[in-house]
A = this chain, B = another copy of it.
Amino acid sequence: MIFYDCSTAPNPRRARMFLAEKGITPEVREVSILKGEQLSPAFLAVNPMGTIPALVTDDGAVITENAGIAAYLEALQPEPPLLGVTPLEKGEVARWNAIAEQQGGAPIAEAFRNSHPAMQGRAIPGPRNHAQIPELAERGRQRLADFLDLLEARLEGRTYLATDSFSMADITCFVMVDFARVIQAQIPQGNTATLAWFERIRARPSAQV
C-alpha cells in the first residue's frame, strides 16, 4: 500500500490519522504542495485530479478523497471501528463528519485560499487555477465563527463529537479546527467543552504523526 501524503495540508492529515488509528503503515510518499508537486506529471499520473491524499492499494487501485480512503480502510480492517458500529452510530459519524467538513473545513479553506498570498490563483485545489475572491475569505471567517458556536453546543457534556467513541468525525473536526491557525482563528476561551475535546484528541498518538 502506498500513501501519497503532504505534511503541511489538512486533508492528507485526516487520512494519515485514520491510518495511524488503524495501525496500518503504508509506504509514504511526500508530495509538497508548497512546491506545486501535486501538479507534476509524476503525481498527475497517479491522480489526474492533482489532489492529496491518494492511496494505492496492494492491487494497484488508486483511491482518492478522504471519504473514499476511510470507507476502503474501514472495510479492509474493521478494527478499531472509526465509522461507527450500529446503524445509528454509522449515521451519526457520517453526519458529523459531513458537518465538520462543510461547516468547519470548507469555511477555513475558503478564508485561507482566498486571502493568503501563497494561495494566489489557487482558490480551489486541482489542475485549474482560480483567482481569489476576497469577499469569500471574509464570509469564511464569519461561517467559521458560527461553526465554533455549533461545535461548543454539541460538545457540551460529550467526550467525542459523533458517538460515545472516537471516530472519523473527531479526526475531521480536530484537523480542521487545528488548521484554523492559518487564518489566525482559534477556539474562543469561553468554549470550554471544545477546548477540553481538542486537548483530548490532540493527546492521541495519531495526532502526532
Contacts and interface: CB of A to CB of B under 8 A. Distances in A.
**Contact count band on A:** 35 or more
A59 interface: yes
B99 A84 contact: no
A88 B69 contact: no
Best-buried of A66, A88, A92 by chain B (most CB within 10 Å):
A88
Query: Taking the full assembly, how many copies of this chain does it contain?
Result: 2
B139 A65 contact: no
B65 A90 contact: no
A135 interface: yes
Nearest to A68: B95
Contacts of A88: 57, 59, 61, 63, 72
Contacts of A90: 71-72, 74-75
Given A67-B94, A71-B90, A71-B91, 15 more contacts: A63-B92, A66-B98, A67-B98, A68-B95, A68-B98, A70-B94, A72-B91, A75-B86, A123-B139, A124-B143, A126-B146, A130-B142, A133-B133, A133-B135, A135-B135
